[in-house]
Structure 1
């Protein structure tokens, strides 16, 4: 096995995508192992590789890590994207938790029943524009810096850019009332490692389609 982190998940965004984003932002190359059938997942579980019988799993530094939050914390700390002290880390944690709440809605949207999609999309737009994005607009305006915490790139910046782009896929004009976030999006998208990740052919996954939804449903016995 090479020294690169190895990511085990479905070939799609889901709970692995923020991990891909964070590794890419840190300039870390990684390998991917895609779970394509229910039987493959069961084999991993029976083999004892999945501590809580679920993916994502990241093999890094001799560990087989599970639980998205734990994986992200480790990567952020390892690659100096987790602030310089406890206070900065607390701010990053707060910001990430808020972004994660919004992204949970975005992640679950493709699995909405057809009759609920319009309502759920409206809810995503409302929460983004009334609850979450105003927070980050205010933070950036108040401190006048390029990044959210400590005036240097952190996990929170990476996760916020991911969220902005994900919401824009569904609500293209969502940033129309947020000039600070528009500037933030431009600056972050031009960070060299992130710019590379945003190019075609990178490990970034496309928006979930019906094929992806069907695959997830079959592997995890969802109905």
Structure 2
């Protein structure tokens, strides 16, 4: 039997599917067609299934209405977070307060999206990741499984910094493969790849690819040493 615990001023659109034992806080908006799995917790002021809007000066093409958002089982979405249309959130994901998950984003099971974190459009995030407070995942990025991204990390996708038409077809997000780790306040430049178990020390600027099982440090980041064996993902 379905149990729904619902707060005040909740707006639920047409054809929304809610699983069993879903808890919805106050002032929540769930747009048409959204699917929410069993045992989810949606806290106050959350918006799910929002269609993106395009700035007049945007270089990106105007998109038609996107398919609904799908939320898996056991997901928690924190206060004042926004999950856009056509996002797919897998089972047991935790999205903390004030986070933003944009359109066409996929997030794997048991991943944590920290407070104030932003995952921009067209990103893929694997399972069992930790995207910590106020980190920024730029559009068109690919993140593997068991990736750790510390607070205030910034990733980028535009080598031309909003100048010249040449940039229009050259946007490229970052790739962080399984087990990659990035320390606090680091910056990853467009298109750079962090290979499996690559590690970036806090405060670094990554201007070239990081090799598998390598630690880099500095601005620009340079090789420091190999990742210790007991820190490798395969040995956990």
TM superposition score normalised by structure 1: 0.23
Question: Given the two structures, how large is their TM-score scaled by the length of structure 2?
Answer: 0.23
Q: Which has the higher contact order (CA 8 A, sep 6+)?
A: 1
Q: Which has the higher strand share?
A: 2
Higher Cα Rg, which structure: 2
